[in-house]
Amino acid sequence: MKEKIQHSFRISKKLLQFMGFLFILAVGFAYTNKDIGEVIVKEVFALPQVIKPITLEKSYSFAGEKIDAENFDLRERMDRELIVNAYRHSATIQYIKLANRYFPVIEPILKKNNIPDDFKYLAIAESGLRNVSSPAGAKGLWQFMLPIAKDLGLEVYDEVDERYHLEKSTQAACDYINRLHKRFGNWINAAAAYNVGPTNFSRFLKEQNQDHYFGLNINEETMRYVFRITAIKTILEKPEDFGFHIPLQDQYPPLDNYYTVKIDTTISNLGAFAAEYGISYRTLKIYNPWLRDTELTVKKNTYELKIPKT
């Protein structure tokens, strides 16, 4: 019995040594001292990368309004968002790729409504330029809640949700931003109020005896919001300066090769409708994401559906 126990112990010891050897091989070079049976680490691999802080400029701007980076508080808030977005590679690469698709549609609508071009980056901060739905129920690229969407004239019901309609939601965003600018006096305040809501923003200003976003001490998301937009703008304007080299051929192309079909009668099956035009149901929804069901009931409004050219 004693011999069996010793034999079992020797096997267990060898097994543990072997497992330890495999672990060490996973992290570095190793060799065995044959005289005493020890496994010795000779060299440990280092990560092949160089991580550097962002070199800040003296000032940044959003919508033509200055963010003074010589103010330590504003500087550190700006620094935080530049670091987060410069080193969150997967998200920022997608921003660059998607911007090539959506900015050509957004930019002229902003210009037509006298909204500074920088507000296109607000859509990135809100949704990452994807038709997402937030836990609170905000939807689309511009992340409108249902009450404000309806107030801005967007149609929302089971089959149709124009918060997902790129052109119409962008126009609604322009109307809303102009409304906020008129109420709060500058574009930075307007952007902050877009995030937290005008009622809350007005209350914060009054409670803290402030007239500008920079002087407020409120929830973290809104405190970071304008700086996040400005950081995204800074990186996307010169992505190569931050190590992002995304050739045009790797960016997502605009969905602009289509014609429109006017719909004034109910479509009972959108899949069958898509097949009539030689496209899939999926393709129809990609070009018309505001269609939220498998049918489209026409009550009083008419609709224009985008059909990609084949």
pLDDT for 306 equals: 98
Q: List the CATH code of the domain at 59-250.
A: 1.10.530.10
106-116 mean pLDDT: 98
Question: Which carries the bigger pLDDT value, residue 4 or residue 68?
Answer: 68
The structural domains of the chain, with segments of one domain joined by +, span 2-44, 59-250, 258-308
Among 233, 201, 230, 206, which Cα is nearest to 218's?
A: 201
Q: What is the DSSP letter of 254?
A: P
pLDDT for 7 equals: 47
Structure tokens at 135: 């836990």
CA–CA gap between residue 233 and residue 3 (Å, rounded):
74
pLDDT for 9 equals: 44
Least confident of 7-16, 44-53, 63-72: 7-16
Whether 151 has a pLDDT exceeding 60, the answer reads yes
- 261-288, pLDDT tens digit by residue? 999 999 999 999 999 999 999 999 999 9
- 158-203, pLDDT tens digit by residue? 999 999 999 999 999 999 999 999 999 999 999 999 999 999 999 9
pTM of the model: 0.84
